[in-house]
């Protein structure tokens, strides 16, 4: 959401407010910045204050209070002076006449780049608000891939806006809250910024579902009183048991945040009274071995619930989070969740990627967190390169932001983290793009499995490939990662383009033969002139446009031959195009009539879909007859190698085993069954079976139908078109 929506750019007739100062910010800077750095930040504050003079937020406060609040949040993470200066200036370019070049000149190029990464694209015209929003996110996420400070500034900006969202109109509150829940909170979670993630979730929940929030908050408040005694008792018992085992630890009780409770109620269809684990306990110890010792001692205190133990120390989450999680049967059978971690793990759990600035240390775990973050940010660049537009890019990113994960192993023992529901194809693309493009099957735990097999925690996965394999459009229905989806779509678009260009070349040759029967060679100068006149970059694009129905071959041929426009009423029939059946996705066979070799056929050039083949008697083609330029005469190649789907309808006497008899006869006739649907009425002596079978041509279909008519139980048999 544009942060400028939170302020009114025109001065309001308000009483002159007290001039805000930077005291809250400078008090945060003193402990970790040098005096000269603080002086730079104060200079940026004065610059921003002067630029925003006369501007007020919707709440009525001077606008400068917003950038100061954003910079203060970043200062709490100990971010460097460049990030703090960029935070103070992040709305200057959008909301005032100051340019990014001026910021670069005064505060340096790194600051200008950060401001540019956070700034929106308000000056560009977009078709819809969704396109504008998606393009803004794309710009921000790609800037973040180059410098993670961009998203830290943006998250701090969004956090302060959400804290002050009450001043907005209800409709805007809803839109901003939904955007926060769908994009910003998941990004904070993905980067390990746990406290920001939880606060954004709860603030968005409060504004998106105010009544649900109010009722749930009241219920938690009441439960807090009822369960306080239980929580105190459990906390003391945990401390005593750890002390008895001579384990030094800090034990704290914590309450689940409201949106987390609400989501659990939604996912498991539970009333609030059945959500017992709204309280959890955190045990912080000195090192990793002590984590496991503490776990053992707590399992001897309260029995663990089977299947409710997760070891995120051995296998960290994708954002670097580490802890032991175990759910135990507490007093009176109440489930309680315990998290056990070291102090360093706790720092990462709370600050995530910001821990790099907050805790200046050479700790290997922090370096690993940075590496994981870097890998994810690089995957954004990869998805961007494969995505067609900003809306598609945002769709892929949203898929990757939701954090439920499964952990699987490569044959060499490397751990791969994938989203819940990920399939073999997701795994293949996660390992390497080319492996994904060439995969045909997999061995999961040494058993042969199909590509759509869903992966589970602990699976060992080996991908099987073939040199001539390539992605199928059906893959898009069962992949869940943005990376896999983006790569598949990119390959399909490339295949579609190449096959459309090949079809377009045949259509253009046909048109050229019609206009100049003797020769259809076109001079280079004619192609150059066409490209210049149409503004298209290459000859292949023109041919692909013809194949996709975006341009008419006869019009392009006239342009190439400099024949000008046809005379009114002038129309000569084009010659026929030969259909081999192996043209790929540029030539489609209509599902309404399912033509097969031997059927009289006609071709319709459909925009963006290419050439669609119908039978001559297909009822659907009547509505398209009004546009004769889009119809082509087509004929079958006598030597087609492809198998074609055809529908047949069989009425049979209702007897035991008749379906097996019919299916066996179809197989004996050299055909495979793609689909079966059986319709029967209660008490009727007959049943209707609809088959989709694969045949080579009409003669093959005729042989199958002759064989089926010999079955005594078959009463009626027909081919179905439509």
Provide mean pLDDT across the span 658-663: 88
User: What pLDDT, on a 0 to 100 scale, did the predictor assign at position 4?
Assistant: 41
User: What pLDDT, on a 0 to 100 scale, did the predictor assign at position 623?
Assistant: 67
User: What pLDDT, on a 0 to 100 scale, did the predictor assign at position 228?
Assistant: 66
Cβ-contact 393, 384 below 8 angstroms:
yes
Which CATH superfamily includes the segment(s) 644-720?
A: ACT domain (3.30.70.260)
Catalytic residue among 28, 65, 91, 95: 95
Highest mean pLDDT among 250-254, 359-363, 691-695: 691-695
Provide mean pLDDT across the span 444-457: 88
| Of 394, 360, 368, nearest in space to 139 by CA | 394
Distance CA 648, CA 717 (A): 7
Range 151-188 burial, b when 16+ CB lie within 10 A, else e = bbbbbbbbbbbbebbeebeeebbbbbbebbbebbbbbb
Provide mean pLDDT across the span 61-66: 88
Query: How many residues are recorded in the chain?
Result: 722
User: What pLDDT, on a 0 to 100 scale, did the predictor assign at position 484?
Assistant: 86
Domain ranges of the chain: 3-208, 217-360, 489-636, 644-720
The answer, yes or no, to whether residue 386 has pLDDT greater than 60, is no
Collect all residues with Cβ–Cβ distance below 8 Å to 591 and sequence separation of at least 6.
Answer: none
pLDDT digits (tens, 9 = 90+) for 98-141: 888 889 888 999 899 888 888 764 444 445 566 666 666 666 66
**Mind giving me the DSSP string for 314-360?**
TS--TT----EEEEEE-GGG-EEEEEEEEHHHHHHHHHGGGHHHHS-
As assigned by CATH, the class of the 217-360 domain is: alpha beta
User: What pLDDT, on a 0 to 100 scale, did the predictor assign at position 607?
Assistant: 67
Q: Which of 4-8, 407-411, 681-685 is predicted with the least confidence, judged by mean pLDDT?
A: 4-8
The answer, yes or no, to whether residue 7 has pLDDT greater than 70, is no
Highest mean pLDDT among 179-188, 222-231, 279-288, 674-683: 279-288
Catalytic residue among 94, 400, 405, 541: 94
Collect all residues with Cβ–Cβ distance below 8 Å to 655 and sequence separation of at least 6.
Answer: 713
User: What pLDDT, on a 0 to 100 scale, did the predictor assign at position 576?
Assistant: 56
Is-catalytic flag, 95? Answer: yes
Q: Which residue has the tokens 């078959």?
A: 714
Q: Three-state SS for 661? A: helix
pLDDT digits (tens, 9 = 90+) for 463-504: 998 887 888 888 888 888 878 888 888 887 787 777 778 777
The answer, yes or no, to whether residue 630 has pLDDT greater than 50, is yes
Highest mean pLDDT among 38-42, 223-227, 524-528: 38-42
Of 1 and 263, more confident: 263
Collect all residues with Cβ–Cβ distance below 8 Å to 198 and sequence separation of at least 6.
Answer: 257, 259, 260
Provide mean pLDDT across the span 654-676: 87
Q: How confident is the model at residue 255 (pLDDT cuts 50, 70, 90)?
A: confident
Cβ-contact 356, 366 below 8 angstroms:
yes
The answer, yes or no, to whether residue 200 has pLDDT greater than 90, is yes
Domain range 3-208, CATH architecture = Orthogonal Bundle (1.10)
pLDDT digits (tens, 9 = 90+) for 689-702: 999 998 989 999 99
Distance CA 198, CA 195 (A): 5
Q: How far is the first Cα of the chain from the last one, in angstroms, to the nearest whole number?
A: 47
Token pair of 322, please?
């580490």
The answer, yes or no, to whether residue 511 has pLDDT greater than 50, is yes
Is-catalytic flag, 80? Answer: no
Q: Which of 264-268, 459-463, 560-564, 663-667 is predicted with the least confidence, judged by mean pLDDT?
A: 560-564
The answer, yes or no, to whether residue 674 has pLDDT greater than 60, is yes
Query: In the predicted model, what is the mean pLDDT of the chain?
Result: 79
């Amino acid at each position: 959401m544009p942060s400028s929506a939170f302020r009114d750019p025109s001065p309001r007739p308000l009483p002159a407010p007290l001039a805000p100062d930077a005291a809250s910010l400078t008090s945060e800077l003193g402990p970790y910045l040098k005096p000269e750095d603080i002086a730079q930040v104060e200079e940026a504050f004065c610059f921003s204050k002067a630029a925003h003079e006369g501007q007020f937020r919707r709440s009525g406060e001077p606008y400068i209070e917003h950038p100061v609040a954003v910079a203060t949040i970043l200062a709490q993470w100990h971010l460097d002076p460049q990030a703090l200066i960029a935070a103070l200036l992040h709305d200057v370019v959008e909301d005032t006449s100051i340019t990014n070049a001026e910021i670069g000149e005064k505060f340096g190029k790194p600051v200008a780049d950060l401001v540019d990464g956070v700034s929106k694209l308000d000056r560009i015209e977009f078709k819809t608000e969704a396109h504008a929003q998606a393009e803004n996110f794309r710009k921000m996420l790609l800037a973040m891939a180059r410098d993670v400070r961009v998203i830290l500034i943006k998250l701090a900006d969004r956090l302060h806006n959400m804290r002050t969202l009450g001043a907005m109109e209800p409709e805007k509150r809803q839109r901003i809250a939904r955007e926060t829940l769908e994009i910003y909170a998941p990004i904070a979670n993905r980067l390990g910024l746990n406290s920001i993630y939880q606060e954004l979730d709860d603030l968005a929940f409060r504004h998106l579902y105010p009544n649900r929030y109010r009722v749930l908050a009241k219920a938690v408040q009441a439960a807090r009183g009822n369960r306080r005694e239980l929580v105190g008792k459990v906390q003391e018992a945990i401390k005593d048991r750890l002390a008895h085992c001579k384990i030094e630890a800090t034990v704290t009780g914590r309450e689940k945040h409201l949106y987390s409770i609400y989501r659990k109620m939604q996912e498991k269809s539970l009333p609030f009274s059945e959500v017992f684990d709204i309280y959890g306990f955190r045990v912080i110890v000195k090192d990793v071995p002590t984590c496991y010792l503490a776990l053992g001692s707590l399992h001897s205190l309260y029995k663990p619930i089977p299947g409710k133990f997760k070891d995120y120390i051995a296998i960290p989450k994708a954002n670097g989070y580490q802890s032991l999680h175990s759910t135990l049967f507490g007093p009176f059978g109440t489930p309680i969740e315990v998290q056990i971690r070291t102090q360093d793990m706790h720092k990462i759990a709370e600050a995530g990627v910001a821990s790099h600035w907050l805790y200046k240390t050479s700790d290997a775990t922090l370096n690993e967190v940075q590496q994981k973050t870097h890998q994810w940010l690089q995957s954004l660049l990869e998805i961007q390169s494969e995505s067609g537009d900003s809306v598609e890019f945002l769709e892929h990113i949203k898929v990757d932001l939701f954090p439920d994960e499964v952990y699987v192993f490569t044959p060499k023992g490397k751990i791969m983290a994938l989203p819940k529901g990920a399939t073999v194809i997701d795994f293949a693309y996660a390992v390497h793009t080319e492996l994904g493009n060439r995969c045909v099957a997999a061995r999961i735990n040494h058993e042969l499995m199909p590509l759509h097999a869903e992966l589970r925690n602990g699976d060992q996965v080996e991908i099987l490939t073939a040199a001539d394999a390539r992605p199928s459009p059906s893959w898009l229905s069962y992949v869940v990662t943005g990376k896999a989806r983006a790569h598949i779509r990119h390959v399909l678009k490339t295949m579609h383009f190449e096959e459309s260009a090949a079809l377009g070349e045949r259509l253009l040759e046909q048109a050229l033969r019609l206009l100049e029967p003797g020769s259809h060679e076109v001079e280079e100068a004619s192609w150059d002139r066409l490209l210049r006149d149409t503004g298209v970059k290459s000859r292949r694009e023109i041919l692909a446009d013809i194949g996709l129905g975006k341009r008419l071959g006869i019009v392009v041929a006239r342009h190439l031959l400099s024949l000008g426009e046809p005379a009114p009423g002038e129309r000569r029939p084009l010659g026929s195009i030969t259909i081999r059946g192996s043209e790929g996705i540029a030539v489609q066979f209509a599902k309404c009539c399912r033509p097969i070799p031997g059927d009289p056929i006609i071709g319709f050039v459909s925009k963006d879909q290419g050439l669609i083949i119908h039978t001559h008697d297909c009822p659907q083609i009547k509505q398209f007859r009004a546009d004769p330029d889009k119809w082509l005469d087509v004929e079958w190649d006598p030597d087609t190698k492809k198998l074609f789907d055809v529908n047949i309808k069989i009425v049979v006497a209702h007897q035991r085993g008749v379906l097996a008899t019919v299916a066996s006869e179809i197989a004996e006739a050299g055909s495979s069954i793609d689909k079966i649907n059986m319709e029967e009425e209660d008490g009727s002596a007959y049943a209707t079976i609809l088959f989709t079978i694969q045949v080579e041509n009409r003669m093959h279909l005729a042989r199958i139908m002759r064989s089926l008519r010999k079955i005594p139980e078959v009463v009626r048999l027909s081919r179905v078109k439509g």
